[in-house]
Amino acid sequence: MKRRVVITGLGCVTPVGNDVGSTWQALLDGKSGGAPITHFDATNHKVRFAAEVKGFDPALYMDRKEVKRSDVYTQYAMAAAVQAMTDAGFGDGQGYDPLRTGVVIASGIGGINTFEHQHSVLLESGPGRISAFFIPMFISDIASGVVSMRFGAKGPNFCTVSACASSGHGIGLSFRAVQYGDADVMIAGGAEASVTALSMAGFANMQALSTRNDDPARASRPFDATRDGFVLGEGSGVVILEELEHARRRDARIYGEIAGFGMTGDAYHLTGQPENHEGLQRAMRRALEDGGLSPAELHYVNAHGTSTPMNDVNEIRAIRAVLGAHASGVNVSSTKSATGHMLGAAGAVETIVTTLAIQHGTVPPTINLQSPDPECDLDCTANEPVKRTVSAALNNSSGFGGHNTSLALVRFRD
């Protein structure tokens, strides 16, 4: 039988806050993480701004040797994981069976900072100067491995890589691991640190990014008629998923419950979606069906909402197709308007946001939505948070290559 899976811990590092509390408040206040790039000299770049993490100190979460031997994306992952485990009451290493505790930290790109730096070393100094830690610092699964070592977690341990759907898959498969008894506790999320010279140039040259160099704070504008691309973001989000009876036995605080999960493929295009986003429709329907939910029970959709012309329209059409007559009564928002697009970390951070929307009865806004696109004709929660009961919500993610996920979250009822 399927076991119930609850969320008992949250942790994040984002462009608008280095923990959950500051990130949530920044979203409600309508603060933007978009700003000129500081991680490298972007003078000659077509796009010279991003949503960077600011004021982050990895030494708060790792010792000096660990920091030196880890890529920035792993540092973000460790920070979010430590926060989440502490929040769940596991900060002292007690309360969980290591053999029944697993880790899935997703990443779409992995240690690209390390890759770029070591490639420069190769060209300038030759192969003998490449670090012996290059490979374990660069590979996308290493954050899962490092986090598992930190907490002694010997259960399921892997990394999901599906571009911007990576942490949607990671949390969804972690949900399944607990649901079907492969683990009692899962440390699940995603991490990304891809604001680098190479990745910025690549995304810009494929015309995926906004080019509003003169107004970076307002460049990410999902569902707005003047949107012109996404703003690259970075950071990490981690949730602690726990089997309900395990959480009850230790009197854990329960933020909410994951009820269902859907995942599909488009089999259509390298970077685009089919009209009306048929693949995402199936993922949302599957999440609702898996969770035993009807469209009428849904109150909120945290949209993938990238601020690209094609994605936003197709996602709104998909939501309308799935929810039918109930679509007009649902709030939709894209918190990428504030955080930028965090790629493989986006789904995890947005799962945290969706969880908090349910807990607090507040839908965070889509900021910078000044001229609504007539084709994005649902309530996209423009610029101001909305107080309302949120008993059930969906969190959508899609990725280059045609990957789609949808997570159904509900208010916990004992």
Provide the CATH number for the domain around residue 362: 3.40.47.10
What amino acid is encoded at 375 in this protein? E
Quick check: is 232 in a domain?
yes
Rounded-to-integer distance, Cα 300 and Cα 20, Å: 20
Q: Are residues 239 and 268 in the same domain?
A: no
Cβ(147)–Cβ(212) below 8 Å: no
- Which pair of tokens denotes residue 23? 């990130």
What domain range is 322 assigned to? Answer: 262-409
Over 80: is that where the pLDDT of 347 sits? yes
Quick check: is 102 in a domain?
yes
Residues involved in catalysis = 164, 304, 341
Comparison of pLDDT for 276 and 18, the residue scoring more? 18
Q: Are residues 291 and 195 in the same domain?
A: no
Across 212-228, average pLDDT: 98
Quick check: is 271 in a domain?
yes
Give me the pLDDT at residue 248, please: 97
Q: How many CA atoms lie within 13 A of 262 on its CB side?
A: 26
Tens of pLDDT, residue by residue over 378-402, are 999 999 999 999 999 999 999 998 9
Cβ(2)–Cβ(180) below 8 Å: yes
Rounded-to-integer distance, Cα 315 and Cα 396, Å: 9
Quick check: is 383 in a domain?
yes
Q: Are residues 282 and 199 in the same domain?
A: no
Q: Are residues 279 and 237 in the same domain?
A: no
Q: Are residues 175 and 229 in the same domain?
A: yes
Give me the pLDDT at residue 328, please: 94
Across 341-352, average pLDDT: 98
Give me the pLDDT at residue 271, please: 78
Quick check: is 28 in a domain?
yes
Last residue of a domain, one of 249, 280, 314: 249
Q: Are residues 38 and 118 in the same domain?
A: yes
Give me the pLDDT at residue 268, please: 87
Give me the pLDDT at residue 68, please: 96
Residue 28 CB partners (closer than 8 Å, separation 6+): 362, 364, 365, 385
Q: Are residues 74 and 214 in the same domain?
A: yes
Quick check: is 323 in a domain?
yes
The pLDDT-based confidence of 91 (bands split at 50, 70, 90) is confident
Give me the pLDDT at residue 141, please: 97
Q: Are residues 267 and 243 in the same domain?
A: no
Average pLDDT of the residues of the chain? 97
Identify each DSSP E strand in 351-402 by its residue range: 362-363, 386-387, 392-399
Give me the pLDDT at residue 148, please: 97
Last residue of a domain, one of 195, 225, 249: 249
Q: Would you put residue 368 in left (φ > 0), alpha (ψ -120 to 50) or beta?
A: left
Over 80: is that where the pLDDT of 276 sits? no
* Number of domains present in the structure of the chain: 2
Q: Are residues 301 and 382 in the same domain?
A: yes
The pLDDT-based confidence of 266 (bands split at 50, 70, 90) is confident
Across 337-348, average pLDDT: 98
Tens of pLDDT, residue by residue over 42-57, are 999 999 999 999 999 9
Q: Are residues 63 and 128 in the same domain?
A: yes
Over 80: is that where the pLDDT of 249 sits? yes
Cβ(366)–Cβ(385) below 8 Å: no
Over 80: is that where the pLDDT of 80 sits? yes
What amino acid is encoded at 316 in this protein? I
Quick check: is 254 in a domain?
no
Over 80: is that where the pLDDT of 72 sits? yes
Give me the pLDDT at residue 151, please: 97
Across 320-342, average pLDDT: 97
Query: DSSP secondary-structure letter at 18?
Result: S
Phi, psi of 281 (to 5 degrees): -55, -50
Across 227-236, average pLDDT: 98
Quick check: is 300 in a domain?
yes
The pLDDT-based confidence of 359 (bands split at 50, 70, 90) is very high
How do strand 49-50 and strand 5-13 relate by DSSP bridges? Answer: unpaired
Give me the pLDDT at residue 294, please: 97
Last residue of a domain, one of 249, 272, 295: 249
Tens of pLDDT, residue by residue over 109-132, are 999 999 999 999 999 999 999 999
Give me the pLDDT at residue 90, please: 96
Q: Are residues 294 and 181 in the same domain?
A: no
Q: Are residues 76 and 194 in the same domain?
A: yes
